[in-house]
Amino acid sequence: MNTRAVRAVVRKDLRIALRNKGVVLPIIIVPLIMMIVMPAVMIFLPFYLEPMDAGEELRQEMGAFFANMPAELSVLFAGLNDQQAWLMLSSMFMFAPFFLIIPLMVSSVIGADSFAGEKERKTLEALLYTPITTAELFIGKVLAAFLPAITVSWVCFVLYSVVVNIGGVMVLGRIFFPNLAWLVLILWVVPAAAALGIGFIVLVSAKAKSFQDAYQISGLVVIPIILLLFGQMGGVLYFSTPTVALIGLVIWVLDVVLLTIAVRTFGRGEIIARL
Amino acid sequence: MPEWVIETRRLTRHFGALVAVHDVNLQIARGEVFGFLGPNGAGKTTTVRLLNGVLNPTAGEIRVLGLDPISQGPAVRRRTGVLTESPALYEPLSARDNLFLFGELYDVPPDVLRRRVEELLAMFELSARADDKVASYSKGMKQRLALARALIHAPDILFLDEPTAGLDPEAARQVTELIEHLSQEERRTIFLCTHNLVEAERLCDRVGVINRGELIAVGTPEELAQRIWHGHGISVRLGRPLSAEAVASLVRVEGVAQVEVDDTELHILLDEEGRTPAVVRALVEAGAEIYAVKPREHSLEDIYFQLQADARGGST
């Protein structure tokens, strides 16, 4: 393995992608809205609109969610008033699925630029004439999308932790975030989601004509995450530690399948034939 | 015997039902500039891809620098440089960044690479704008940079695919002069794919003509002319047009194969050069006013079109 060539590909792909507004804007704006602005509004707004008192209003409105909740999670809500329960519910549960969107989105937007964008700009052929093997080129391109996806997700996680803990100090009088399920989410599921975005985008890019085409089609991978979100609100699925670990495992298995297929589309002859 | 740096035997590549390259046998010597001529879609680019191990052949054998591009692709590509038909540069990056990137991909040692980048920027007159984005470059500058990139690892063989296509005459001349320099001063082996016959005539030692995937002729332009016209051509310039009887008498001279009349110009094909005095004598006896007699030189263009016409089954 020529690691110098792999590093050169990673650096090049990142420098090119980060000069593309179509890449940079979603990478900055989506996490900012999803992980900072939305949580801040969702968590704090109810305090000002309608002061909540100790009571059962929230628990009645979210009937299914609370009724089916496993015992180890209900402990989190024991003895909390509505305001406190809202903070716990929104910060611990509602935003967890959103956290999978960040690595998926970042890896697929950079992946789209690196795989489909490079094809669109017709620069791939010159790379194929260098001694770099297609395995090294593939690894370089995957890392160029994977590393920023993880970095952006982890930075978001730190900022999100700060936002919700400000709420925690104000409402609960203590720092309460994250718990074990969240750490599993961040360290085990987020990398899996980043890899999923890449696997999907490589397959899409083999057929797509442009960066835009590839990126638009890759939006489909968000659908399972929306299902997770609704599943949870409907009381079917909860973000407990074992569930999160299992979701991670399922995504990693999907990654292996997708990336194995993706590698097959990435032989020199196959790429040249598509140029 | 010359050292062959490129050899192919019955090289063939199909894409489904399409035969892109068929039974091509090539031998190219070290230091030679070989012109690979043919219309668009004739199989030139496919051949370059096959020779560099970027595409595998359907059948046949290839040796490039003694290596097999199918099983030793990276080793072959380490010693070849390719200028692709479109410059394929990273336009958001500078010229210097483009060269460094490819130097790293070719694994040129860092200290050698730094020196080499500056040398190439100077040689290709890009030093002053080396840190500007390539997107701001003219077409000619981009092509010079793409050529510099193909040379970053000092390759033994340089493949140039239509190096002057789409350039204005000034930029095309600059690129042609650079190629001439690489061949004459640096003695590099150059495999030049082109349909610019003037460029090929100026640069190439030998040419191969390809049509619909088949190599229809290989040789120096002189050898090809000999093979096509089977004899020695002379052109005669006269003071006034020749009478029909005089032309008829000329045709009867022994060794004259063909006479073409173009007003006061005669193009005469002889079976050998030694027939020239007899022809001149016959012309003088017929009362012709001879201003000049010179051997007829066939341009590469004449040769190329004759070969393509023959390949289509026509003749002149």
* Gap between the Cα atoms of B165 and A208, Å rounded: 28
- Asked if A5 reaches chain B (Cβ–Cβ under 8 Å), the answer is yes
Q: Which of A158, A172, A155 is nearest to A43 (CA)?
A: A172
What pLDDT score was predicted for residue B315? 42
Find out whether B132 and B85 touch, Cβ atoms under 8 Å: no
What pLDDT score was predicted for residue A234? 62
The ipTM value here is 0.85
What whole-number percentage of chain A has pLDDT above 70? 93
* Gap between the Cα atoms of B79 and B61, Å rounded: 19
What pLDDT score was predicted for residue A50? 58
Q: How many C-beta atoms lie closer than 10 Å to residue A20's C-beta?
A: 16
Find out whether A169 and A187 touch, Cβ atoms under 8 Å: no
Residues (pLDDT < 70) of chain B are 314-316
- Asked if A132 reaches chain B (Cβ–Cβ under 8 Å), the answer is yes
Q: Quick check: A121 pLDDT over 70? A: yes
What pLDDT score was predicted for residue A250? 94
pLDDT digits (tens, 9 = 90+) for A68-99: 787 778 888 888 887 888 888 888 888 888 88
What pLDDT score was predicted for residue A172? 87
DSSP three-state, residue A249? helix
Q: Quick check: A231 pLDDT over 80? A: no
Running DSSP on this structure, what letter comes out for residue B67?
Answer: B
Tell me the domains of chain B and their CATH numbers. Answer: 4-225 (3.40.50.300), 230-298 (3.30.70.100)
**Neighboring chain B residues of A114 at a CB cutoff of 8 Å:** none
Question: Taking the CA of residue B129 as centre, how many other CA atoms within 13 Å lie in the half-sphere pointing to its CB?
Answer: 15
DSSP three-state, residue A234? coil
What pLDDT score was predicted for residue A245? 93
Distances in whole angstroms, Cα of residue A115 to Cα of each of B15, B63, B282: 24, 32, 74
* Gap between the Cα atoms of A179 and B295, Å rounded: 94
Residue with tokens 């099983």: B71
How much is the pTM? 0.86
Q: Hey, CA dihedral for B45, B50, B56, B60, is it positive or negative? A: positive
Quick one: closest CA in A to B97, which residue?
A: A12
Tell me the shortest Cα–Cα distance from A128 to chain B, in angstroms: 7
For the segment A183-196, the average pLDDT, to the nearest whole number, is 94
Q: Quick check: A135 pLDDT over 90? A: yes
- Asked if B52 reaches chain A (Cβ–Cβ under 8 Å), the answer is yes
| Domain assignment of residue A154, given as a range | 3-274
Q: Which of A238, A214, A261, A234 is nearest to A96 (CA)?
A: A238
Residues contacting B146, CB < 8 A, separation 6+:
A126, B83, B84, B87, B88, B89
- Asked if B84 reaches chain A (Cβ–Cβ under 8 Å), the answer is yes
Residue with tokens 């628990």: A59
**Neighboring chain A residues of B162 at a CB cutoff of 8 Å:** none
For the segment A137-162, the average pLDDT, to the nearest whole number, is 95
**Strand B214-219 with B232-238, pairing:** unpaired
pLDDT classification of A107: cutoffs 50, 70, 90: very high
- Asked if B78 reaches chain A (Cβ–Cβ under 8 Å), the answer is yes
Q: Which of B50, B90, B143, B191 to mutate to test the interface with A (most CBs of A within 10 A)?
A: B90
> How many separate domains does chain A show?
1
For the segment A31-49, the average pLDDT, to the nearest whole number, is 79
- Asked if A124 reaches chain B (Cβ–Cβ under 8 Å), the answer is yes
Find out whether B51 and B62 touch, Cβ atoms under 8 Å: yes
In this complex, which of A122, A130, A268 lies closest to B105 when CB atoms are compared?
A130
Residues contacting B15, CB < 8 A, separation 6+:
A273
* Gap between the Cα atoms of B164 and A83, Å rounded: 73
Q: Does the beta-carbon distance from A131 to B101 stay under 8 Å?
A: no
